[in-house]
Amino acid sequence: MPLPSSLLFSLCLLIAAAAVCISPVESRPPFACDPRNGLTRSLKFCRVNLPLHVRVRDLIGRLTLPEKIRLLVNNAIAVPRLGIQGYEWWSEALHGVSNVGPGTKFGGAFPGATSFPQVITTAASFNESLWEQIGRVVSDEARAMYNGGMAGLTYWSPNVNIFRDPRWGRGQETPGEDPVLAGKYAARYVHGLQSPTGTRLKVAACCKHYTAYDIDNWNGVDRYHFNARVNKQDLADTYDVPFKACVVEGKVASVMCSYNQVNGKPTCADPDLLKGTIRGQWGLAGYIVSDCDSVGVMYDTQHYTATPEESAADAIKAGLDLDCGPFLAIHTDMAVRRGLISETDVDLALANTITVQMRLGMFDGEPSAQPYGNLGPRDVCTSSHQQLALEAARQGIVLLKNSGSLPLSTTRHRTVAVIGPNSDVTVTMIGNYAGVACGYTSPLQGIARYARTVHQAGCSDVACGTNNQFGLAEAAARNADATVLVMGLDQSIEAEFRDRAGLLLPGLQQELVSRVARASRGPTVLVLMSGGPIDVTFAKNDPRISAIIWAGYPGQAGGTAIADVLFGTTNPGGKLPMTWYPQDYVAKVPMTNMGMRPSGGYPGRTYRFYKGPVVFPFGHGLSYTTFRHTLALAPTDLSVPLDTNLFATRNYTLSSNAVRVKHAKCDSPSSLFHVDVENTGNMDGTHTLLVFSSPPAGQKWSPNKQLIGFRRVHVIAGSKQRVKINVHPCKHLSVVDEFGIRRIPMGSHSLHIGDLKHSISLQANLEGIKA
């Protein structure tokens, strides 16, 4: 009788220090350039001492056209005569190594991998170093699994689309609604994943889905048919911002184009987006891949071209290098025969994909002899990796309301009623695009480490279609010292291809919460698991519900993290990365309206443009202690030096109240602000300082305010920490006009630094003469 996988996994971990496991680990054979193969080891493309472009050119020159075409798709063929193995490009690592793509599988020596909190939860930490650290751990485990023959090296993560509409089922995968936050997350997570050393990569990341993709299936409109109508202004200052950061700052190895059209063109066939923006303006050094079957969707569903070979040709000519799906393998040959594209076009696409494979060391011979070649089963699900997953969950939890009942006391609250459809869940905590976790601690299990628990689900699932279990839940609450309700959503409510209809708790959950709160003998705490925001105005306004916590989807250790926050072992410091709107907001806003700014009766989107009522605002998050901010150094004037060369050749005056960024000397030094953050309470705590800017009044195309930076700082009770913030006019005080041009408005800007407001005056300066 074989050992159960869970026991096998435990045995593997227990004896990992001896580098052995119950299931023997097969060493991966070389992908190419096997030193034992006398026919291929001396070929030019196998010589690691030659420049990459020379090796790439040599390999492409040896391939036949049919071989080249079969390398344009994710399940690339083997080329045995050149000693090259087949390769599956599609693997995922959104918040841990995942088996969603066919390139990765679990089993044997690799029964699972560390499952971190879902991205929306990790984003709530506002902790850049944490994001990069998670990336490094995930890529360690990915490399280990690659070495064991269980995974690839190309991971189509992260998802950096803007969480524009609160109903979007995939908002959970993103860093939230703010483009600056999403851009910083993208750059740091990618840097952690890729861990570049020179040109060499540990794994190759991919930022997706470019661009203006954030509708899956709403009200009869799906992502395959949707034409996102986006103006130049919103494209430049919202939708494109995270992708630009991913490429320019993160140096990502790949970008994925999306299913939808943008202004009538499929993104995967738009040369302005692919060749012009991603590769041209931003300088992508890597490959562009389609979302899976999106080239086929372009022809079969969107009917963009008259023939399939025209769709294949349009995609390749636009700058697509790799098709996730079979379409290019089937139709590229006819496209070449008809003269729609040339073999040279195919060569250019292959050059981009093969270069990335060479940067990963796939053409360097024996994997075990390369950097990271020593990683194996002992490096997956390590205690330090699992501890980081717990710490990430702790940092991402947001305290939304607290009337003083939290933290709970182990002496006063010895018996806790744990109620709700998410109270004892495991897989729910890891969200979507997840793998197989190392293990789980549910909320019930976590709370049981602090107090005696009485458990009642109340509802059989989050749909909560009946109230026949409510009486048992009420009875449990009457007989407990405190009650914790763990409610919310799961993948049956919000997921890929599943957008929400509204923002309220599903089914009869609200009734369950209210009835239990009325019956509860002690304080009642509402814990919400979800990716998207939920309208819990009823709970916010109910004095019997003394505290509300948002845990997102907190990963494999979520139950421990929730309990640590409830009982004060962890002082919560997370902030919401998205606005929590009331239910009536979505009645005014169709998901298909891509506009960010208000117009007519349309209220606009996100905290940057929407001025109406909210349940909880972007950046909201409480602590068990209190903080005070003081400006210790705060310049009141900033000079914007202009490029004198431009004024020597152009008839340009300084009368304009907004200077184009490209006309300014953006390499000039930034201004330094010093902010003292004092912990005025009696509990140590971590505080996230958010810094926003508002442009001068009268700028019709400007946001209300925009995030320009954030710092997370730990402050001991009764002490203070000085936080230094750099403010640069080009980067932080510029806005985008209606033509998509980034400008720096002159005049008085407002900086919102925590609860402080500070004015700073900008003046254009040409050769020392202020205007």
Q: Phi first, then psi: what are they for 38, rounded to 5°?
A: -65, -20
Tokens in use for 162? 């803007």
Residue 291 annotated among the catalytic residues of the structure: yes
Element (H, E) at 456: strand 452-456
Cα 300-305-308 angle, rounded to 5 deg: 60
Q: Give the number of other CB atoms < 10 A from CB of residue 595.
A: 17
Q: CA–CA distance from 147 to each of 30, 157, 538 (Å)?
A: 10, 20, 52
DSSP-assigned letter for residue 66: H
Tokens in use for 710? 């954030």
Q: Strands, E, within 587-716: which ranges?
A: 627-633, 637-641, 658-660, 671-679, 685-694, 706-715
From 216, 291, 321, 535, active-site residue: 291
Cβ-proximal residues to 744 (8 Å cutoff; 6+ apart), any chain: 640, 658, 659, 660, 661, 664, 729, 730, 733, 734, 762
3-state helix, strand, coil in the chain (%, to 5): 30, 20, 45
Q: In whole angstroms, give the CA distance from residue 140 to residue 320.
A: 29
Residue 130 burial (CB < 10 Å; 0-12/13-18/19+)? Answer: buried
Written in H, E and C, the secondary structure of 749-767 is EEEEECCEEEEEEEEEEEC
Q: In whole angstroms, give the CA distance from residue 149 to residue 27.
A: 7
Residue 373 burial (CB < 10 Å; 0-12/13-18/19+)? Answer: middle
Do 489 and 120 contact (CB within 8 A), yes or no?
no
Q: Give the number of other CB atoms < 10 A from CB of residue 260.
A: 26
Q: Where are the alpha helices (DSSP H) in 614-681?
A: 644-649
Do 527 and 549 contact (CB within 8 A), yes or no?
yes
Q: In whole angstroms, give the CA distance from residue 106 to residue 91.
A: 12
Q: Give the number of other CB atoms < 10 A from CB of residue 465.
A: 11
Tokens in use for 32? 């190419």
Cα 712-717-721 angle, rounded to 5 deg: 45
End-to-end CA distance of the chain: 84
Q: In whole angstroms, give the CA distance from residue 422 to residue 434.
A: 18
Dihedral of alpha carbons 555, 556, 559, 564, sign? negative
Q: For 546-566, give one letter per residue: b (16+ CB within 10 A) or e.
A: bbbbbbbbbbbbbbbbbbbbb
- Rounded (10°) angle between helices 343-359 and 327-337: 140
- The structure tokens 């159960």 sit at 4
Element (H, E) at 350: helix 343-359
Q: In whole angstroms, give the CA distance from residue 697 to residue 638.
A: 18
Tokens in use for 181? 């936050």
Q: In whole angstroms, give the CA distance from residue 532 to residue 561.
A: 20
Cα 632-634-636 angle, rounded to 5 deg: 150
Strands in 287-290's sheet, in edge-to-edge order, are: 207-210, 254-257, 287-290
Element (H, E) at 545: strand 545-550
| Residues with active-site annotation | 291
